[in-house]
A and B are shown apart, each in its own frame.
Chain A
Amino acid sequence: MRRITLTLNGKQVTHEVEDSRLLIEFLREDLKLTGTKESCGVGVCGACTVLLDGKPISSCLALAVHADGRALTTIEGIAEGDRLHPLQEAFLKHGGYQCGICTPGQILAAKALLDANPRPSKDEIRHWMMGNLCRCTGYYKIIDSITAAAGAE
């Protein structure tokens, strides 16, 4: 067991975790933050994407102890109270989601993109978002949503 302290969605959190505890288990089971979804479990699908110091990572492949002393952002942490993040607004308006299981990961991956590159081209969006699978939308409306959010910021 190890005590870790991290800034989670802007708030300091301290917790005891096993060295082998996966970050996704820490979020979903220990902290009950179930907005982060697990699908493939092997870092291919992107459903479990979270931002560690602003960079997208697969929380199914990371250990909770990796987050010690760092800033972690999950889907629960990007709206400001009832005010949705522009990406959340854009996904809603442009239909960038259907079943919704990949959506938290899509939105966080897109947030990391827009934080680094506020006006990405469609090609840049396609290149960046390649690691986030979606089976429902065919991706066109995800591209539209991210493009719209970039314009809104």
Chain B
Amino acid sequence: MATESLSGKSVGQPVQRVDGIAKVTGRARYAGDVELPGMLFGRCLRSPHASARIVAIDAAKAKALPGVRAVLTGADVPETRYGRMCKDIPVLAQGVVRFVGEKVAAVAADTLEIAEAALELIEVDYAETPAVFTAAEAMKQGAPIIHPEKVEVFPGAAAGVHGELLMFPPIPNVISRLVLRHGDAAAAFAAAHKICAHSFATPAVHQGYIEPHTCLISVGADGLVEVWIANKGPHIARAHMAAAIGVPEARIRFNPVTIGGDFGGKGSLMDALLCYQLALAAKRPVKMVMNSFEELTAGNPRHSATIALRSALDRDARLQAIEARIVFNAGAYAGFVPVPTLHGYGELAGTYRVPNCAVEVLRVYTNTVPRGHMRSPGAPQVTFAVESHIDMIARELGLDPVEFRRRNAIEEGDATPLGAKRRHLRCRETIDAGAKAFGWDKPKAEGIGRGISIYEHPPGNFGRSTVKLSMSAEGKLALLLGSPDTGTGFHTIASQLVAEHFSLAPEEIEVAQGDTLSADFEAGASGQRLTTTIGQAIGDAANKMKEALTALAAERLNCAPSDIRIGADGSFSTSGTSIDRRALMGWAAERGKTPLTVAGENTPGKPNDVTGFVAHFAEVAVDRETGQVRLKRMVTAHDIGTIVNPILHQGQIEGGLVQAVGQAMSERVVLKDGAVITAHLGDYKLPTIADIPALETVLLPGGRGAAPFDTTAIGEMSNVAVPAAITNAVFDAVGVRLTELPIRAEEVFAGLAAKKDAA
């Protein structure tokens, strides 16, 4: 680790966030806090049916209601389809509805109350059609076809995807089918000493951000489209909007707002295209805010999944092959996801040395709420399956789960099961550090169970990052970014990285988020990429700024740039003479050369070959009378690089872990006849402050990162593998194996009862 070369002023320091005071005083401005003169409130009418034809819509009464400024139905809006990769989402339903909650009509009115009253006056005549709710039903020959039309796919869908990818293959309702192979799995199974096979299921879960989807759109007299939206990647969102509405990107401005949590759920335009149509129709600005009922029933929750795994082992209990069939239920629309299929297959058993692997991944349409992205898309589903499967194999072999994992842990020089070669592999060290802190080998009481799960994931190195760095006449540095801080603290991280390059304190750097016209392109938060990708763009900008300053200093001091030395105090010197930064910039200002602005850029070429590991340990108490599981304590051990900001780093660990505790213990989007019935935060149970376990974090120093200063990623590491550690602990406590999330006391109880009957 390069800590010895750090200034001690910035990277590694627990500096206060740049947005901190605004947030603790209530001054931070979110999209919902923006108000424009003449602003109207938009609401939409949603389908009560999972699959139906719209026979007729009568909106006359709604239009006649005083205070209503626009009423739109499918016939009033362009037939254009939107999607981040598969363009299949209409602005409003075009003659058919495909899930309970689909937008059918919309109103803009002077007040929210009037808009809602108007919705009640819209009469829709539906003719119900057959629906399918599970991926298995949807793939059967003869199943109703949810999207009989040809869905346009952005060109380049297969870019960066290894294996055989087919978009819309000839299987009913399948969006994508990906097949990957490494080695010769069939031969390994034929030669196996033992074969283990198990199946798992995970439900849809909501991202749970506390700020609902919000957008405000105004179309100026000059045609400039102004947007304030809870979206994590304004530049990409703007490009999609431009394509959908036929307005050039330069005529659309996404304005900077604070984002109230994302967790992967805020990458889409959600209601923005409808909001734009309402603003056009009413000739007034329109704001749309999804209420919590709409968020839970018609947002874009995590894909539910069924996962079948099969492993081949040799005589020494070493994994020789793994086979996986992963089926994601995508709901009624594919367009919320910016990729052909969820990337989670890529981390399949990446912590283990498995020379042969075969994976099939299917994404399937059903007549249910459309699914989207959530924190490490696909990986929590796949990792719950893998880490349960590994535990089950260990138990079947009579081996200790930690020892079995250590025996099969990936080592330096090994490829992952899917063939990725990476460096600095510290899987076993991470397991050992966690097991020691947890006291894995210590005795435990009756009814107490202990479980482990492990995971690896390289930081994302994809998507373009660009920054503008400028120095004022007073010698102050300012960084302009193109993406919001979704809550992780990335604006603060960026300020610390800039400061480190100049040996300054981060408070001396001014950080601002520009709008999409003033700031250059930033792909936004995704796949643990920001610290890595923007870190490299900032490194590029810092180098260019130093070159530009050196050139200025050379001009001022009458020497060649190569004769200039930059001192630790930021001064510029050549033989016998020197000038400090402030004086140099003052001189430059007199000549009209300030602010001095450079653009830093990073367009990553290939995936990172440096990864990180995590090992989670959970201790539970199970009540044999009721089946109730109490999560008592956890240890989370992380193989890390240089920590940029210890408060933010620990915040990612704790926040990610508790989200996963929710996924293990309580969270599930429950569907009945295709409709979400956990439609209320009282039914959809996010963890509260009373639900968190005692937590100890172990950080393994000395790790390597792929980004400047050996920094790396943390945001998904703390989250993905946690649920399996808890269900593995339940098995350890009472011998009941849970293969479906979340843990439900009634299932544990049923498992206990079944064991009693068998005994």
Contact = CB atoms under 8 A, between A and B. Distances in A.
A and B assemble together: yes
Given A95-B648, A101-B261, A132 B689 contact: yes
A147 interface: no
A112 interface: no
Given A37-B260, A76-B26, A140-B695, A135 B650 contact: no
A143 B691 CA distance: 13
A135 B648 contact: no
Interface string B689-711: 11010010000000000000000
A34 B33 contact: yes
Contacts of B26: 33-36, 74-76, 103-104
B12 to A, nearest CB: 15
B124 to A, nearest CB: 25
Most buried by B among A98, A136, A139, A140: A136
B262 to A, nearest CB: 8
Interface residues of A, number: 54
Contacts of A95: 647-648, 650-651
Interface residues of A, dominant DSSP: loop
B655 A42 contact: no
Nearest to B656: A138
B681 A107 contact: no
Contact of B651 (A47, A98, A103, A133): A98
B27 A99 contact: no
A45 B210 contact: yes
Given A95-B648, A100-B23, A137-B655, A129 B689 contact: yes
Contacts of A142: 689
B681 A135 contact: no
B448 to A, nearest CB: 21
A35 B25 contact: yes
B651 A84 contact: no
Interface residues of B, number: 55
Contacts of B695: 140
A44 interface: yes
A138 B692 contact: yes
A94 B16 CA distance: 9
Nearest to A87: B24
A13 interface: no
A40 B28 CA distance: 19
A79 B487 contact: no
A103 B258 CA distance: 13
Contacts of B211: 37, 39, 99, 101
A92 B689 contact: no
Contacts of B19: 100
A37 B24 CA distance: 12
Contacts of A101: 30, 209-211, 260-261
Given A37-B260, A137-B651, A138-B655, A99 B690 contact: no
Given A99-B486, A133-B681, A138-B657, A39 B692 contact: no
Contact of A135 (B24, B208, B651, B692): B208
A136 to B, nearest CB: 5
B24 A98 contact: no
Contacts of B656: 138
Nearest to A135: B208
A141 interface: yes
Contacts of A29: 35
B263 interface: yes
B24 A88 contact: yes
A41 to B, nearest CB: 6
Contacts of A2: none
Contacts of A40: 292, 681
B212 A39 contact: yes
Most buried by B among A84, A91, A133: A133
Contacts of B30: 37, 101
Interface string A110-139: 000000000000000111011111111111
A44 B489 CA distance: 27
Contacts of B207: 135
B261 A99 contact: yes
Interface string B481-501: 000001111000000000000
Contacts of A141: 647, 650-651, 654
A52 to B, nearest CB: 17
A115 B686 CA distance: 28
A135 B263 CA distance: 9
Contacts of A98: 261, 487-489, 651, 655
B259 interface: yes
B750 interface: no
B21 A92 contact: yes
Contacts of B212: 39
Closest 6 CB pairs of A and B: A35-B26, A99-B487, A101-B260, A100-B23, A138-B658, A75-B26
21 contacts: A34-B32, A38-B32, A40-B681, A41-B292, A42-B680, A44-B680, A44-B682, A45-B292, A45-B681, A76-B26, A84-B21, A100-B28, A100-B258, A126-B689, A129-B689, A130-B689, A133-B686, A135-B209, A135-B210, A135-B261, A135-B686
